Amino acid sequence: MTEFIQQLLNGLSLGSIYALIALGYTMVYGILQLINFAHGEIYMLGAFTAYYLVFYFKLNFILALVLSMIITAGIGVVIEKLAYKPLRNSSRVSALLTALGVSMLLQNLGLKIFGGDPKAFPQLIPNKPIFIGDLIIFNQQIVIVVVAIILMVILEIIVHYTKIGKAMRAVAFDKDAAKLMGIDSNMVISFTFAIGSALAAAAGVLIGMRFNRIDPLMGMMPGIKAFVAAVLGGIGSIPGAVLGGLIMGISESLVVGYLSSTYRDAIAFALLIIILIIKPAGLLGKNIKEKV
């Protein structure tokens, strides 16, 4: 039983990371019906931004996290303006291929600019174990969960209790009707990319701090897993993205703890297949009929 609880705790911190990335996927999809496959690379850029901020300016954890989120949010907006906005009225296939192209472009730019060798992420918070009976919790795991909860609460407040959040929900519900009501959909879409990119950057900083290692290709697998988490919870649903991320993280930890770390990536695809067979709309998603 102790081993099970230990793996649950490990999975909770990992799942919080997946949930932060999955929120970006689900928010962009909710607004544009676009799967932004470059989101994993935004997560990578967030980690590298914090790395260089700490390296050159010796910032502490909070400043590095906040500035990394702000800078990466700006990068997300620039990507949206340059790559996705011109395709706003094109087919979904065009937008999807563009997203894949942006993903590969950012990976190769990362390799060119940052180099292919992994970099040691600075120990912004010294990792110390906390013993509770037979359980071991590291203080960095607690920081990850607390930061994730704070950011999710802020997102919830923005979406449900602010004017821009109301505009986001209006555009997600019916973009044309929102325009007729005087809502600037371009501004709303840019804001959505900014928020999603900032959350991905936070995830990149937290994972860099936890595992002390970053590289230009670090966004590939977490990006795919976070996308699976968004689909698992019901893509387009913010609570679904959080639920999917936690399920993904806990499942991965249980697999590593009870089977083998060899299968840690396979569980993501197994869950995706199962959910697509049983409930294609995801756990909290809604079935939407499209007119042909």
Whether the per-residue pLDDT at 126 is higher than 90: the answer is no
Query: Which ranges in the chain belong to alpha helices (H)?
Result: 2-32, 39-57, 61-79, 92-114, 139-161, 163-173, 175-180, 185-211, 220-233, 238-258, 266-278
pLDDT of 138 higher than 50:
yes
The pLDDT tens digits for 140-156 are 999 999 999 999 999 99
pLDDT in tens, 244-283: 999 989 988 898 888 887 888 888 788 888 888 888 888 8
Q: What is the pLDDT of residues 23-50, one digit of tens each?
A: 988 888 888 788 888 899 999 999 999 9
**Tokens standing for residue 100:** 């894949």
pLDDT higher than 70, residue 230? yes
For 65-113, write each residue's pLDDT tens digit. Answer: 999 999 999 999 999 999 988 888 788 888 888 999 999 999 999 999 9
pLDDT (0 to 100) of residue 288 = 59
Q: What confidence score (pLDDT) does residue 292 get?
A: 44
Q: What is the pLDDT of residue 291?
A: 47
